[in-house]
Amino acid sequence: MLLVGRYLRREIVAAVAFVLLGFLALFAFFDLINELEDVGRGGYRLQHAVAFVLLGLPSHVYELMPIAALIGSIYALSQLASHSEYTAMRAAGLGRRRALGVVARVGLALAVLTALVGEVLSPPAERLGQQLRLSAIGGSVTGQFRSGLWVKDTARDPAGEVNLMRFVNVGELLPDGTLRDVRIFEFDAQMRLSRLLEARGASWGRGNGWELREVEEIRFTNVPAAGLAPAVGTRRATAPTLHWQTELRPEILGVLLVEPDRMSGLNLYSYIRHLRENAQNTSQYEIAFWKKIVYPLAVIVMMALALPFAYLQVRAGGTGYKVFAGIMLGIAFHFMNGLFSHLGLLNTWPPLLSVSIPSVVAFMLALGMLAWVDRAR
Cα 294 to chain center, whole Å? 12
Element (H, E) at 118: none
Rounded Cα–Cα distance for residues 83 and 51 (Å) = 43
Please compute the mean of the pLDDT values over residues 280-291 and round it to a whole number. 89
Element (H, E) at 64: helix 57-82
Q: What percent of the chain has pLDDT over 70?
A: 84
From residue 188, alpha-carbon distances to 151, 185, 270, 276, 285 in Å are 17, 10, 25, 20, 29
Phi/psi for 111 (5° steps) reads -65, -40
Query: What residues does 235 pair with on adjacent strands?
Result: 219
pLDDT at 319 over 80: no
Rounded Cα–Cα distance for residues 100 and 367 (Å) = 11
Q: Tell me the DSSP string of 197-210.
A: EEEEEEEE-SSSEE
Which residues make Cβ contacts (< 8 Å) with residue 189, sequence separation at least 6?
Answer: 161, 162, 163, 164
Angle, in degrees to the nearest 10, between helices 57-82 and 298-306:
20
Rounded Cα–Cα distance for residues 215 and 346 (Å) = 42
pLDDT by residue (tens digit) across 223-265? 555 555 555 678 888 999 998 888 788 877 777 667 788 888 8
Do residues 99 and 87 make contact, with C-beta atoms less than 8 angstroms apart?
no
Rounded Cα–Cα distance for residues 309 and 326 (Å) = 9
pLDDT at 312 over 50: yes
Q: Which amino acid is at 175?
A: P
Rounded Cα–Cα distance for residues 280 and 77 (Å) = 49
User: 3-state SS of the chain: helix, strand, coil percent to 5?
Assistant: 60, 20, 20
pLDDT by residue (tens digit) across 25-48? 999 999 999 999 888 887 889 999
- What 3-state class would DSSP assign to 239? strand
Q: Checking DSSP bridges between strand 228-245 and strand 162-173, what pairing results, if any?
A: unpaired
Q: Which amino acid is at 358?
A: P
Model confidence band, residue 145 (pLDDT cutoffs 50, 70, 90): low
pLDDT by residue (tens digit) across 168-211? 898 888 777 788 899 999 988 788 888 899 999 999 876 678 89
b/e per residue, 160-192, with b = 16+ CB within 10 A? eeeeebbebbbbbbbbebbbbebbbebbeeeee
User: Which has the minimum average pLDDT: 86-95, 107-116, 245-254, 366-375?
Assistant: 86-95
Rounded Cα–Cα distance for residues 287 and 268 (Å) = 10
- Burial class (CB within 10 angstroms; exposed 0-12, middle 13-18, buried 19+) of 55: buried
